[in-house]
Chains A and B, each alone.
Chain A
Amino acid sequence: MRLSADLKRRQAGARWRAAFDTLAFSLLLLGLGWLLVAGADALHYNWQWYRVPQYLYRLEEGGFRAGPLLQGLGVTLELSALSLLLALIFGLTAALLQRSSSWAGHAVARVYVEIVRNTPMLVQLYLVYFILAPILGMDRFAAAVLALALFEGAYAAEIFRAGIEAVPQGQWEAAEALGLSRLAVYRHVILPQAVRVVLPPLTGLGVSLIKHSALVSVIAVADLTTEGRNLIAETFMTFELWFTVAALYLALTTSLSLLVGWLERRLAVGGAGRH
């Protein structure tokens, strides 16, 4: 009896403390906000939040029209989707080559992964844009897609490799005992099982791809960051526009991260049930 009363008192205390801490945290956020506003005031910064919505969208008689920022967001999504697709192809090819019996394939995949993982994304982008693009006559959008895909492809390769290796050895042996060819083993036995393991980290790769896609503003592809930088150069609303751009990215990536968490939980449960 005394023990449970003690426990109850302690729980109540913990709840009070948590409420107090949350309050303190909100106060801290308020303080930071105040500091920002005060700092901007000291610079005689003229807040013009009311001008921001028109850069997001406009409601004209024709209906809803996307402003530069939302158009930039569209380009970011298009760029990310295209390069994700290409990255998956590169990654799967590299992973399969690395596992194949071919020494040439193994070497090529290793060299590719090593080069990409040991140089900065920015330098790779410059290499593609300044060297490969003029040689092959690519435009900047294609160069951006290729650079992003090559970069993320190397990470996708590691994910695929881990996914394939996670399939139990017995599956290989059983498939071989059934007389399946190597291609058939991969297509019908290994890859369908590997997909479950691979899907959550691949979604994480998508998040990182969206983040890295901001880099293409360096070569003036009209993505969200580029649009933001252009608008800032025009309007000098540095604070408002950077915060808006950051918020758009945050909304995009956090919703994808939430999706990753959900996928992980779902696939984990499904996987445990099926064995």
Chain B
Amino acid sequence: MPRSKRRFGWLDALVLAVIFGLTGYLIYRVQIHFHYRWDWRLIPGYFMRYDAERGHWALNLLGQGVLMTLRLAVWSGLLAGLIGGLVGLCRISSSVFLRLLGRSYVELIRNMPPLVFIFIFYFFISGQLLSALAIENRIANAAPETLRVLAILFGPPELWLNFLSGALCLALFEGAYVAEIVRAGIQAVPIAQWEGAAALGLHPQQTLNHVILPQALRTVVPPLAGQFISLIKDSSLVSLISIQEMTFSGNELAVSSGRVFEVWLTVAALYFLLCSGLSRLFRRLERRLDRHGRQPH
């Protein structure tokens, strides 16, 4: 297809007319019909505020929400990688038992709406499982220094139970998708590699560890990066079971301050910056990895 660039055609005129028309209509409705008074001045204060009593800056709701989202992403990402790796191996195992187990887990989760999974998890699992862990007792007995280190990793101690159930829920959910990526990555390695390794007298376990997995790793990394970004997006769902991350803070602020438009636009912009920044970073890393991979060893 010959593509003439930087020329102003009829399509450009049409698209611009539609865009300007829509924007103009929206602005007209907001200002004239809706009488909305924009006020962005409060927004920075929702990230950080000056604590007059203690005399230093402290994170406000939205700032805490951002941190919680990041913590959730990191910890549930790691956990989902672990679960997904194990289940992915189950899916290609020679044992029918393990295959059935992996298959049921993956199909069950992938065919259920995330919301329904999260509610079921919240009602059935989180209450019983987490009370068995007795975290609250352990927090009470822990030394202050360890608590401080743990607070950096997992957030404020009074929210640990909350955080743990959110992270576990997300990890169980995303694990199913990671499992499929891992399975596809392993199955993408040509069958001749298995046969070749077997001909060399390698045990199936050795074949997997030394021949198959190193090759599968390269195909698996790009989709895993994409799945990590999906995880950040899906983490907004756990706000519905009162995990206090970014969307939850947004909801609280929109209700309490009444600045609905500004707060939601800010939250959306934060997610956008986080996700598009990460996807750009991953793409750059991938390209570098590709270049190194192609060089002769």
Contacts and interface: CB of A to CB of B under 8 A. Distances in A.
A246 B112 contact: yes
A123 B248 CA distance: 10
Nearest to B117: A246
B15 interface: yes
A120 B69 CA distance: 12
A25 B100 contact: yes
Contact of B112 (A103, A114, A211, A218): A211
B128 A39 contact: yes
Nearest to A173: B1
Contacts, number: 160
Nearest to A239: B124
Contact of A120 (B4, B6, B34, B234): B234
B29 A136 contact: yes
Contact of B239 (A108, A117, A122, A217): A122
Nearest to A39: B128
B7 interface: yes
Interface string B1-25: 1011111010110011001000000
A257 B96 CA distance: 23
A257 B108 CA distance: 12
Contacts of B9: 101-102
Given A130-B260, A242-B119, A253-B111, A101 B16 contact: no
Contacts of A103: 5-6, 12
A115 B272 contact: yes
A79 to B, nearest CB: 13
Given A24-B97, A135-B26, A108 B15 contact: yes
Given A214-B113, A225-B113, A242 B264 contact: no
B97 A25 contact: yes
A124 B124 CA distance: 29
A104 interface: yes
Interface in A184-221: 207, 210-215, 217-218
A214 B229 CA distance: 21
A21 B11 contact: no
Contacts of A207: 111
Contacts of B29: 135-136
A196 B250 CA distance: 43
B226 to A, nearest CB: 10
**Of B29, B113, B123, B239, most A-chain CB atoms within 10 Å:** B113
**Of A123, A134, A250, most B-chain CB atoms within 10 Å:** A123
Given A104-B11, A122-B239, A257-B111, A246 B97 contact: no
A55 interface: no
Contacts of B96: 17-18, 21-22, 25
B101 interface: yes
Contacts of A130: 254, 260-261, 264
Interface string A33-60: 0001001000000000000000000000
B30 A211 contact: no
Interface size range on B against A: 35 or more
- Mostly, the A contact residues are helix
Interface string B236-247: 110110000001
Nearest to A210: B113
A118 to B, nearest CB: 4
B256 to A, nearest CB: 14
Nearest to B98: A21
Contacts of B124: 36, 39, 239, 242
**Of B1, B19, B111, most A-chain CB atoms within 10 Å:** B111
Contact of B279 (A118, A122, A172): A118
A22 B33 CA distance: 66
B223 to A, nearest CB: 15
A210 B98 CA distance: 30
A43 B130 CA distance: 15
B116 A97 contact: no
A95 to B, nearest CB: 14
Contact of B116 (A24, A104, A246): A246
Given A115-B272, A249-B111, 8 more contacts: A97-B15, A103-B5, A103-B12, A114-B276, A117-B275, A118-B272, A131-B260, A211-B114
4 nearest A-B pairs in the assembled complex, by CB-CB distance: A214-B113, A21-B96, A21-B97, A102-B11
